[in-house]
Amino acid sequence: MRFNALALVASAIVLGACGGGEGGGTVDSVTPAGTGAATGGATTAAPGTAMPITGTTHEVKMILDGNAYRFDPANITVKQGDGIRFTTVSGQPHNFGFDPAQIADDIEAQLRANMPPGSVELESPYQNTPGESHTFSLAGVKAGKYPFHCQPHLALGMTGVITVE
């Protein structure tokens, strides 16, 4: 009897810890521009705190073109505070992510915080339907070049580079 009660309490704790959360079931995590607190034209927050898009939202399409998987555009230049909407067109499942070995430690926490809800490490959730999208904020991300990839199609060369000015 004690074992059953202990198992019941432990199960309730585990289920409570796994449940809830913000943005459950959200397909597109667009944050409208201008919703962050601006100071001198830039949004500020503690490092590793999710920051909203304060500039332009650009679109990158994820495509299967013949036998080639690709991002369109594969190389994109944005300003700090802009956002990128990654939209599945064909050849799903797709996602976008960053290799932690290629990202400086002081930038990794901000990238991770700005990832869409449901992301794991530096990988966005998979998109399994044409037209599905996830939006990613580059607010608080230092200027530099950030290689990105589609995890399911990385071995097939589906990569790109985000340049933040």
Write out the E strands in the chain.
38-39, 42-43, 57-65, 68-72, 75-78, 83-88, 133-137, 144-149, 159-164
Confidence class of residue 46 from pLDDT cuts 50, 70 and 90?
low
Three-class DSSP category at 51: coil
Confidence class of residue 47 from pLDDT cuts 50, 70 and 90?
low
Structure tokens at 155: 């071995």
Structurally, the chain folds into a number of domains equal to 1
Beta-sheet strand order (sheet of 133-137): 68-72, 57-65, 83-88, 133-137
In sequence order, which residues have a C-beta less than 8 Å from that of residue 129 and are 6 or more positions away? Answer: 88, 92
pLDDT digits (tens, 9 = 90+) for 116-139: 999 999 999 999 999 999 999 999
Three-class DSSP category at 2: helix
In a domain, 154, yes or no: yes
In a domain, 111, yes or no: yes
Confidence class of residue 38 from pLDDT cuts 50, 70 and 90?
very low
pLDDT digits (tens, 9 = 90+) for 87-99: 999 999 999 999 9
- Asked if the model's pLDDT at residue 103 lies above 50, the reply is yes
In a domain, 98, yes or no: yes
Contact predicate 63/51, CB 8 Å? no
Q: In which domain, by residue range, is 109 found?
A: 46-164
pLDDT at 108: 94
Cβ neighbours of 9 (radius 10 Å): 10
Q: Residues 141-150: what's their mean pLDDT?
A: 97
Confidence class of residue 106 from pLDDT cuts 50, 70 and 90?
confident
Structure tokens at 41: 């034209």
In a domain, 159, yes or no: yes
In a domain, 11, yes or no: no
In a domain, 13, yes or no: no
Instruction: Give the whole-angstrom CA distance, residue 6 versus residue 147.
Output: 48
- Asked if the model's pLDDT at residue 14 lies above 70, the reply is no
In a domain, 17, yes or no: no
- Asked if the model's pLDDT at residue 113 lies above 80, the reply is yes
- Asked if the model's pLDDT at residue 141 lies above 70, the reply is yes
pTM for this prediction: 0.73
- What CATH code is carried by the domain that includes residue 93? 2.60.40.420
The least confident of 42-56, 125-139, 143-157 is 42-56
